Amino acid sequence: MQKIDWYFDFISPFAYLQSELLHTLPGDVQIDFKPVLFAALLTHWDNRGPAEIVPKRQWTYEHCAWLAHKHGIPLTMPAQHPFNPLPLLRLCIALGSTPAVVRRLFRWVWREGKLPNESDNFSQLLNELSVTPDMLDTPAVKQQLRNHGEQAIAAGVFGVPTAVVDNRCFWGLDATDMLQAYLRGDSFFRSEPFLRAGNVPQGVQRNK
């Protein structure tokens, strides 16, 4: 059985869309769901999120709407974005990051259009899941989220969603078919063109 570490943040519509496609992976795959704070990855790698670049922001949301349409996945944009995903990440960890919990929280944001800073909506979600607010603030939950972030960075994860298999990262929704091919044992990943592509020497660098 092949094992996947799937790193995600509920802030990402691309992670939501890929979560709805994980069932298309081979049946002998074990997925370990690992919530991670996307903002921490951006900080570590000195990167910016797509919503932080004005023209890219509009393109990102329109592209997500198209991709949802293409894959037949319901999508409702929340009232505002980005938002603070920490309550949802901690809630997910407090409930064991099970597939059912991950699915419910993603759909709560990206199908129902609800946000954790909407106190009434979030309270209703906690009640539905039989969770009290103090369960989200335990040292164990906070430490687990930090651990996931450290594990992600150590694995070379720079964005979400990312699936890590055999120490190899597959980043983004558009890498889903590439991930499927790798899990099927596609010989391309052992080919000279693929191996050469991953070892291109670095040329000029932009001054920061």
Give the C-alpha separation, 155 to 105, whole Å. Answer: 25
What domains does the chain contain, in order, with CATH numbers?
Answer: 2-197 (3.40.30.10)
pLDDT at 27 over 90: no
pLDDT at 31 over 80: yes
Q: What is the mean pLDDT of the chain?
A: 97
Give the C-alpha separation, 6 to 124, whole Å. Answer: 28
The pTM of the full predicted model, rounded to 2 decimals, is 0.96
Phi then psi dihedrals of residue 140, to 5 deg: -65, -40
pLDDT in tens, 178-194: 999 999 999 999 999 99
DSSP 121-153: HHHHHHHHTT--GGGGG-HHHHHHHHHHHHHHH
| Nearest residue to 25 (alpha-carbon basis) of 181, 190, 208 | 181
